[in-house]
Amino acid sequence: MSDEWWSRWFRRRWPFRSMFFEEIDEIFREMEREFEDLMRRVPKDLTRERVLPDGTRVQEWGPFVYGYSMTIGPDGKPKITEFGNIKPGFGPGRPRIDIREEREPLVDVLTTDNEVKVIAELPGVEKKDINLHGTEDTLTISVDTPQRKYYKEVKLPAKVDPKKAKSSYKNGVLEVTLPKKGREKPKGEPIRID
């Protein structure tokens, strides 16, 4: 019996199932179109060609990294922080994915009465390749080497003095300690009350 005969028989017996499978097929075709579109947008630094031992050439993509960390803030509420080089975004239709060359490292920000401590995971890089730039409100961490690219701008929870910052890097973990700025005294002269 031919496939056409089975197809007609199946539609006559279960017409609703036929529509169901057609919808499933359309969903898979849409996923395939979205995947092809995503692969066209991959930065050139994240694609490479490799030759297998049998001489076959294969194209590889990556690394693609996405994750999140969850901590409990001082107010007792959970705080979720994303990291990686893939950023999902949500628009009016389906989720959208932005792929960047630089990976966003996992970063924790701890604060005490006198200082703000930023701890970042930067595996696979040398200390000399790490660039730090600090302002009163932010700390920017960046690495740009042929093998690894990291970038993260950290919003600090308090005003700090970046000139007095201290940092260390060991075993892929960067630790930056920034002293908090003291409260500025009000400008002007005191006025005596009569």
Is the predicted pLDDT of residue 31 greater than 90, yes or no?
no
Q: Does 48 fall in a domain?
A: no
Is the predicted pLDDT of residue 147 greater than 70, yes or no?
yes
Q: Which domain CATH number covers 94?
A: 2.60.40.790
152 and 72 in one domain?
Answer: yes
118 and 75 in one domain?
Answer: yes
99 and 8 in one domain?
Answer: no
Q: Determine how β-strand 138-144 pairs with β-strand 130-134.
A: antiparallel
Nearest to 178 by CA among 147, 155, 150, 145: 155
Residue that wins the pLDDT comparison between 156 and 48: 156
Q: Can you tell me the distance from the alpha carbon of 143 to that of 127, in angstroms, rounded to the nearest whole number?
A: 10
Is the predicted pLDDT of residue 121 greater than 70, yes or no?
yes
pTM beyond 0.85, yes or no: no
69 and 18 in one domain?
Answer: no
pLDDT band at 28, cuts 50/70/90?
A: confident
141 and 67 in one domain?
Answer: yes
152 and 110 in one domain?
Answer: yes
Domain count, the chain: 2
Q: What residues contact residue 35 under an 8 Å CB cut-off, 6+ apart?
A: none
Nearest to 156 by CA among 85, 108, 84, 113: 108
Q: Does 147 fall in a domain?
A: yes
94 and 34 in one domain?
Answer: no
Run of H or E residues at 70: strand 66-72
Q: Does 171 fall in a domain?
A: yes
pLDDT in tens, 78-109: 887 777 767 666 555 444 566 666 788 888 89
Q: Can you tell me the distance from the alpha carbon of 64 to that of 85, in angstroms, rounded to the nearest whole number?
A: 6
98 and 140 in one domain?
Answer: yes
Q: What residues contact residue 1 under an 8 Å CB cut-off, 6+ apart?
A: none
Q: Does 50 fall in a domain?
A: no
66 and 8 in one domain?
Answer: no
Q: Decide: helix, strand or coil at residue 184.
A: coil
Q: Decide: helix, strand or coil at residue 176.
A: strand
Residue range(s) defining the domain that contains residue 32: 3-40
Q: Does 13 fall in a domain?
A: yes
Q: Does 194 fall in a domain?
A: no
150 and 96 in one domain?
Answer: yes
**Of the listed ranges 17-21, 35-39, 149-153, 176-180, the one predicted with least confidence:** 17-21
Query: How would you write 115-126 as a 3-class SS string?
Result: EEEEEEECCCCC
Nearest to 35 by CA among 92, 94, 108, 113: 94
Q: Determine how β-strand 107-111 pairs with β-strand 115-121.
A: antiparallel
80 and 169 in one domain?
Answer: yes
The mean pLDDT of the chain is 80
Residue that wins the pLDDT comparison between 134 and 40: 134
64 and 8 in one domain?
Answer: no
Is the predicted pLDDT of residue 138 greater than 60, yes or no?
yes
Q: Can you tell me the distance from the alpha carbon of 107 to that of 116, in angstroms, rounded to the nearest whole number?
A: 13
Q: Does 188 fall in a domain?
A: no
Strand order in the sheet with 166-170: 107-111, 115-121, 173-179, 166-170
Q: Does 189 fall in a domain?
A: no
